[in-house]
Amino acid sequence: GIGLTDEALVTVGGRMVQPADTNLVDDNRLAIVLPAGEPGPADVTVRVGEQEFTLANGYTYDAFYVEPTRGVVSGGTFVTVTGQGTGFAEGDTILFEGQPCTDVTIVSETVMTCRTPAGALGTADVAWVRAEDGATTTLDDVFEYYDSSDPFDGGLGGGPLTGTLNVTVLDAMTGLAVSDAFVILGEDLATEHQGLTGLTGQITFSGPDVMPPATVHAAKHCYEKTSFVAFDARDVTIFLVPWQDPMCGMGSGNPPTGRGRSGSFVSGELVFQGPNELGANPWDILPEPRTGWTRVAYVYATQPCAGDSLYCLNPDPGLGGGASRILEERPGSRGYPYRIFVRPSAMAIYALAGMENEVTREFRPYAMGVARNVVAGPGEEVRGVDVQMDIPLDHYLDVRLTELPGPGRIGPDRFVVSADIDLGGEGLIVRRVQNTLFDEQTQRSATRPFRFFAQPAIYGALSDGRYRIAASWVTGEFEGDPSAHVVRNGFRDVDREVELGGWVGLPVASAPAYGERIPADRVLRWTVDGGLEPTFYLVLAIGSDGNPAWRQFVPGTQTSAPIPDLGSIPEITDIPSGYVTWVVYSARIPGRDFDEITYADLDEDRWSAWALDVFAAQR
C-alpha cells in the first residue's frame, strides 16, 4: 500500500489482527500474524486514521496445513497433516507435486501422518485427495524441498559426507551470519581442517580425510560453543546462542514496549435435552443433588497444546466480566447463558456439568457438551455458540505403563499420567475446574494401571477426537529430574486397558561422575539402562559464571561428547574453572534420522519419548 503507519489496523475476514502482531516494515508494507479464520477466501482491510481500504478475497485460508514445511529432496520426511473439519478417512491420499506420500496413517478425522516422496529442489504443491469421491483440495507452494542443510531450521543435511563439508554459522537470536567464528573438524588442534568463518558465516573443509563420522565444533567469544558429533552429512548450519551478559553488550536495558493484544469472548447457552422445545430444560442428565451439594456447570475453551506453560494455558474465562460458572437456577431462552473470555484462535467450547460441594467446592463431573469449529478474532465476541449437554461421563480408561527403563542416579520415584482429548486444529480438551486437573493420576508404582473415571465416549461431537496420553516418571514432590516421559496420540476406545510403552533410557553420568572433575581426555560420558534407542542426545553445559558454555548434538548410538579445550585459540576462552552444570537429554522422534536433525527437532511436541538428568562437575 501507500502511506502506511505503525498505527494501522488490519482485519482479515472481518477479524482484527492483534496490534502487537502488526509490524510496520516501511510506509508501503506491513508484516502481520494472521488471526484464525474459516477455510476459503477472506477480505483484507487496512485502516489508517479515517481512511479504510479493502482488498476483496485478498487472502485464502487453507483447509489443512503441513508440518514441517520443508524437507530434503530425497524424500522420507515425516510430516503431519492437520485440518479443521476435514474428515480424513482411510484411503485418502496426500500428493506432493502429484507424487503420493508413503506410510499414510489416519490418526483422526483432522490429523494424518505420512512420509514425503522424493521431489525437485524448490517449492511444491500439496494436495489432499478424498478416497470417497476423488475430490481434491490443493495448496500451492506450501512445502519446500532443499538439498543442503535446512536454511531456516539449521542442523544437518545435504546427503552423505564424501570429502567436502560446508559449515554455516548464524546468530541464534538474529539469524544473521556470524563472521570470524572459529570452526574445527574433530578435536585435534593441529588439524588443517580449522579456521574462521567469512562475512557470510561460512567455511568449507575438503580432503580425502573429510569422511564420516565427523564432529564439528564452533566457537566465538560471547557465544555458547556448539558441536555436532559423529554425523554423516555434507552441510551443517549452526546457530550460536549469544550470552545475555552486559560485558558482551547483551542483557542490559529494558525491552522495548509494543502494542497490546486483545482477547475475545464466546457466548451462548448450555442446552440440556428435555420436553421443552422452546425453553430451558432441567438438568435431568445429572442425578439429584444430595444435601450440601449443588448442580453446577463450568464452561471452557480448548487449549492450543497440553501442559501448563504460559503458551498452553488459557486465560481465566471469567476475565472481563465473563461468566463460566453456570447454575441451574439461572435459565435463559433455550438453555443456560454463559460468556467466557478466550484467546483469539480456532477452538472448541466445552462444558462440564456435575455436583459441587457447597463447603469444600469439590466438583464431580457427570456430563459434558462440546461446540465445535469456533473461530474468534482479536477483540471479537462470537455469539450464539450453544453447547448441547448430551454426553454422559459414564466410561473409564485404564492406562498400563510397560517397557520401563532402569532408574537414574537418584530416581525417579513416582509416575504422573494424563489423558486429554485431541481435536486436531481446534486444540485439546484438558479438563480442569478451579485449577484441578481431572484427567491426571499420580502413583508411586506402575504395577497397577492408572484409571481415569468420568470419561466420555468418543462419538457424536467428539467423533473425530482422539486421546492423547502422556506419562512421566519423575523425582520428588516437585516432579523434578531425573525424569522420563512418553506421549502417544490416537487412542479412541474407552472401557478398556491400553498399554503405553516406548520409553527411552535415563542418562546417568559416568565420566565425570556426579561432582567429580572433567576427565583429562575432555570427553563427557554417560550410560543408560534399557529403553529404546533415542534419535539424538542433547548435552548442555553451563559454566561457573552462569553463561551457557556448550551445546552438543550427539547421535542416539553414542553416549559420549567431546569438549576440547579451545583456550589456545585467539579470543576463545575455555569453560571457566569451578563448578559446571551439565544436562543430558535423550529424545526419540519417530522416523527421524540423526543425519538430518535440525534445531526444529528440539521442540518437545515432536518427541514421542524423552528423558533427562542434571549433573554437576568441576573444571
* Tens of pLDDT, residues 339-380: 999 999 999 999 999 999 999 999 999 999 999 999 999 999
Answering whether pTM is above 0.95, one says no
Question: Would you say residue 190 lies in a domain?
Answer: yes
Tell me: do 375 and 443 sit in the same domain. no
Mean pLDDT, residues 300-307 taken together: 92
pLDDT recorded at residue 214: 98
Residue whose entry in the numeric block shows the C-alpha cell 538474529: 174
pLDDT at 259: 58
| Torsional sign, CA 6, 7, 8, 10 | positive
Picking from 363, 357, 364, the residue whose alpha carbon sits closest to that of residue 293 is 357
Domain end point (choices 391, 421, 436) = 391
135 and 203 together in one domain = no
With respect to residue 151, please indicate whether it lies within any of the assigned structural domains: no
Average pLDDT in the 456-464 region? 93
pLDDT tens profile 583-614: 999 999 998 999 999 999 999 989 999 999 99
Whether 269 and 378 map to the same domain: the answer is: yes
Q: Torsion angle of alpha carbons 229, 473, 546, 172, nearest 10°?
A: 50
pLDDT value, residue 435 = 80
**Is the per-residue pLDDT at 258 higher than 70?**
no
Q: Is the pLDDT of residue 150 over 70?
A: no
> Residue 53's domain spans which residues?
9-30+41-58
pLDDT digits (tens, 9 = 90+) for 38-86: 888 999 999 998 889 999 999 999 999 998 888 878 788 888 999 887 8
**Are residues 400 and 514 both part of a single domain?**
no
Residue 161: per-residue pLDDT: 94
Min mean pLDDT across 231-235, 257-261, 389-393, 446-450 is at: 257-261
Q: Quick check: is 97 in a domain?
A: yes
Please indicate, yes or no, if residue 475 is contained in any of the structural domains: yes
Query: pLDDT averaged over the chain?
Result: 92
Taking 80 as the threshold, does the pLDDT of residue 210 lie above it?
Answer: yes
**DSSP of 11-52, one letter per residue?**
EETTEEPPGGGEEEEETTEEEEPPPP--SEEEEEEEEETTEE
The lowest-confidence range among 80-84, 224-228, 286-290, 291-295 is: 80-84
Indicate whether 585 belongs to any domain: yes
420 and 356 in one domain? no
Q: Is the C-alpha dihedral spanning 202, 208, 211, 217 positive or negative?
A: negative
pLDDT tens track for 512-526: 999 999 999 999 999
Residue 477 shares a structural domain with residue 557: no
Residue 28: the pLDDT is 86
What per-residue confidence (pLDDT) applies to 6? Answer: 84
User: Are 425 and 455 contained in the same domain?
Assistant: yes
What is the average per-residue pLDDT within 544-550? 94
CATH for 169: 2.60.40.1120
- Average pLDDT of span 557-579: 95
Torsion of CA 9, 12, 15, 20, to 10 degrees: -40
Calculate mean pLDDT across residues 299-321: 90
**What CATH number did the domain enclosing 612 receive?**
2.60.40.10
161-188 residue pLDDT tens: 999 999 999 999 999 999 999 999 999 9
Last residue of a domain, one of 482, 500, 518: 500
Into how many domains does the chain fold? Answer: 6
Residues 375 and 286 in one domain: yes
Cβ–Cβ < 8 Å for 167, 217? no
271/224 same-domain check: no
Q: Are residues 276 and 379 in the same domain?
A: yes
User: Helix, strand, or coil here: 403?
Assistant: coil
Confidence (pLDDT) at 20: 85
The reply to whether 485 and 519 lie within a common domain is no
What pLDDT does residue 514 have? Answer: 93
C-alpha pair distances (Å), 471 with each of 308, 490, 491, 566: 15, 15, 14, 41
pLDDT confidence band for 290 (50 / 70 / 90): very high
| 382 & 270 share domain | yes
Burial profile 70-99: b = 16 or more Cβ within 10 angstroms, e = fewer: bbbbebbbbbbbbbbbbebeeebbbbbbee
Q: What is the mean pLDDT of residues 490-501?
A: 94
Does some domain include residue 253?
A: no
pLDDT-based confidence at residue 434 (cuts at 50, 70, 90): confident
Residue 216 belongs to some domain of the structure: yes
pLDDT at 250 > cutoff 70 = no
Q: What pLDDT, on a 0 to 100 scale, did the predictor assign at position 393?
A: 97
Neighbours of 223 (CB within 10 A): 22
pLDDT of residue 242: 94
Q: What percent of the chain has pLDDT over 90?
A: 79
End-to-end CA distance of the chain: 59
Residue 202, domain member (yes or no): yes
296 within 8 A of 327, measured Cβ to Cβ: yes
| pLDDT value of position 260 | 57
